[in-house]
Amino acid sequence: MKPILIDPTEETPKVVLDQGTGVFEIIGNSLPEDVLEFYNPIITWLSEYTTNPNPKTSLIFNLEYYNTSSSKMFIRIFEKMRDLHRHGHIVEIQWHFFEDDDDMLEAGEDYADNLKLPFTLIKHQRDT
């Protein structure tokens, strides 16, 4: 599969989906003007990936901010990971957040509780 590599903007995250590594990343801010236009190619790629996945898949979310529309897309992404997990594949989700960002911590905890996937919350300090 051809990797998806999207450079970040102020409104959209950096996205790396590379079957060669099995490590998928969404990094930055997620406030796309048209959330479907931005995330549908990602969802489609992941759907194709689930037909022939790596033995282990790591999904890394390292977001500073996202909107409600993006969160709905994240759920669709997590559902793809849950499908892999249900079929016996190793799935690891990392949710990164800054130690002073209670909202991002709570969001990660909510996703972890609701999705029942291997979910690691990773706290960072802000650079001063």
CA 3/CA 42 separation, integer angstroms: 10
- Is the CATH number of domain 4-124 3.30.750? yes
pLDDT, tens digit only, all 128 positions of the chain? 999 999 999 999 999 999 999 999 999 999 999 999 999 999 999 999 999 999 999 999 999 999 999 999 999 999 999 999 999 999 999 999 999 999 999 999 999 998 888 899 999 998 76
Angle at 14 between CA 52 and CA 27, to 5 degrees: 90
